[in-house]
């Protein structure tokens, strides 16, 4: 049973076998400190023991959690259960790379209580996977989904990237259809973004390739949404689709509605009440802090009511369920309908939002420009 107010637990595994050139998540490619990290992670859990209400989600992300041996993953989950109460039917998600998955490892992962798998397929086209620097092949991408199904997973999410240089819309939609043949319960479709400071960002600066212009990017977005709607998926967040809300990521929804979450591991962020804090984005500093018996917190910030309400607006307008106006008023002391009357009616006329059942919802066209809606 989902409890939207129960907090979520995130665990960041900061290791990858190699860096994808577009990625700016924190991870290192040497595994020499893996054993020390696993010990430190257990110590970090102990430092938060008793502080949070029972969790109803555990999300092991990274980095590449699937490069850990099943026994190491099982130990992490044992430590979680020793240190924190979990509600019955807790959603336990593991992020995986298709190259790491075989029937034996998936069966072991399912057996330890992981009940939701996300598979970072990214593309089903070998040339595009090579451009993205992925370490798995197009064949492995499909095989991983099929094998996960055979191993007993009934909640599988697939991550895909579109708008890759050289990829036309027809080619993308074809890849999407190939993915749909496996009937994943969840799809995350992200437009390729170029982050400064990454190898891809540097090539882009030197004009080694170009990205879709605004019109083409919009076309990718709208056609993706249309195809997935036709296939029975709910478009519940800008980039996320589920075969019914029962398969929407329970964990990620906590990030979007100010539910508390605890993040463990290097670079992980946490949030509770009006406070956000984040860990050192360095395995060495993380290990050093925990070695000294301290929480590895790099910085903390307290958000004002105004910051919280703007953030809630920004995050809410990225979701299909939008903003519940009465809850918003109670929580942030702002009557949006009264305060933004003219702007809201202009957005309604432009077909970007609707107001019904006491909620402000973005339309599909609104979701396409969700970040600008937050500036209303
Ligand atoms: S595997 Fe994932 S986390 Fe690791 S470098 Fe590639 S995109 Fe980043």
Q: Which of 11, 14, 16, 95 to mutate to test the pocket of ligand 1 (most atoms within 8 A of CB)?
A: 16
Partners of residue 360 on adjacent β-strands:
323, 355
Q: Which of 12, 18, 22, 23 to mutate to test the pocket of ligand 1 (most atoms within 8 A of CB)?
A: 23
CB 132 within 8 A of CB 159: no
Nearest CA to ligand 1 atom 5: 19
Greatest Cα pair distance in the chain:
59
Q: What is the per-residue pLDDT across 57-110, written as a single tens digit (0 to 9) for each?
A: 999 999 999 999 999 999 999 999 999 999 999 999 999 999 999 999 999 999
Mean pLDDT, the chain, rounded, equals 95
* 48 CB-contact burial (10 Å; exposed 0-12 / middle 13-18 / buried 19+): middle
Q: Which atom of ligand 1 is nearest to the CA of 97?
A: 1
What is the C-alpha separation between 257 and 277, in angstroms, rounded?
A: 17
What is the C-alpha separation between 43 and 284, in angstroms, rounded?
A: 15
- Domains of the chain, start order: 8-256 (3.20.20.70), 305-373 (1.10.10)
**CA dist list (Å): 82 to 46, 49, 87, 158, 173:** 9, 9, 13, 30, 45
Q: What is the per-residue pLDDT across 121-155, written as a single tens digit (0 to 9) for each?
A: 999 999 999 999 999 999 999 999 999 999 999 99
pTM more than 0.85: yes
Partners of residue 28 on adjacent β-strands:
15
Query: What's the CA-to-centroid distance between 279 and ligand 1, angstroms?
Result: 19
CB 98 within 8 A of CB 121: yes
pLDDT band per the 50, 70, 90 thresholds, residue 3: very low
* Cα 30 from chain centre: 24
Give, as one character, the DSSP assignment of residue 53: P
Q: How many residues does the chain have?
A: 376
What is the C-alpha separation between 101 and 103, in angstroms, rounded?
A: 7
Average pLDDT score over residue span 333-340: 91
Query: What's the CA-to-centroid distance between 230 and ligand 1, angstroms?
Result: 31
Nearest alpha carbon to residue 66 among 36, 22, 27: 27
pLDDT band per the 50, 70, 90 thresholds, residue 373: confident
Nearest CA to ligand 1 atom 3: 63
């Amino acid at each position: 049973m989902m409890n939207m107010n129960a907090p979520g637990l995130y665990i960041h595994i900061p290791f990858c076998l190699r860096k994808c050139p577009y990625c700016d998540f924190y991870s290192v490619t040497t595994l020499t400190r893996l054993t020390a990290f696993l010990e430190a992670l257990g110590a970090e859990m102990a430092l938060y023991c008793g502080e949070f209400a029972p969790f109803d989600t555990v999300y092991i992300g990274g980095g590449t959690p699937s490069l850990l041996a099943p026994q190491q993953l099982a130990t992490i989950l044992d430590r979680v259960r020793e240190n924190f109460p979990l509600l019955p039917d807790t959603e336990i998600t593991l992020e995986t790379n298709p190259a790491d998955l075989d029937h034996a490892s998936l069966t072991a992962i399912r057996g330890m209580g992981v009940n939701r798998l996300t598979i970072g397929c990214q593309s089903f086209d070998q040339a595009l996977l090579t451009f993205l620097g992925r370490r798995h092949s197009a064949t492995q991408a499909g095989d991983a989904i099929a094998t996960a199904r055979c191993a007993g997973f009934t909640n599988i999410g697939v991550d895909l990237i579109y708008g890759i240089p050289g990829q036309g819309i027809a080619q993308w939609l074809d890849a999407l259809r190939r993915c749909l043949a496996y009937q994943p319960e969840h799809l995350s479709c992200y437009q390729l973004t170029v982050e400064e400071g990454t190898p891809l960002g540097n090539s882009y600066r030197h004009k080694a390739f170009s990205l879709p212009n605004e019109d083409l990017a919009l076309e990718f977005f709208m056609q993706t949404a249309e195809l997935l709607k036709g296939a029975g998926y709910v478009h519940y967040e800008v980039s996320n689709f589920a075969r019914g809300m029962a398969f929407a990521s329970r964990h990620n929804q906590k990030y979007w509605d100010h539910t508390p979450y605890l993040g463990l591991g290097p670079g992980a962020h946490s949030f509770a009440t009006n406070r956000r804090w984040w860990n050192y984005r360095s395995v060495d500093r993380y290990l050093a802090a925990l070695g000294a018996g301290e929480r590895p917190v790099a910085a903390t910030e307290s958000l004002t009511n105004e910051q919280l309400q703007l953030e809630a607006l920004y995050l809410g307008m990225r979701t299909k369920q939008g903003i519940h106006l009465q809850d918003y008023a109670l929580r942030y002391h702002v009557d949006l309908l009264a305060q933004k009357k003219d702007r809201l009616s202009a957005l309604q006329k432009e077909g970007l939002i609707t107001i019904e059942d006491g909620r402000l919802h973005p339309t599909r066209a609104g979701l396409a420009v969700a970040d600008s809606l937050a500036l209303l």
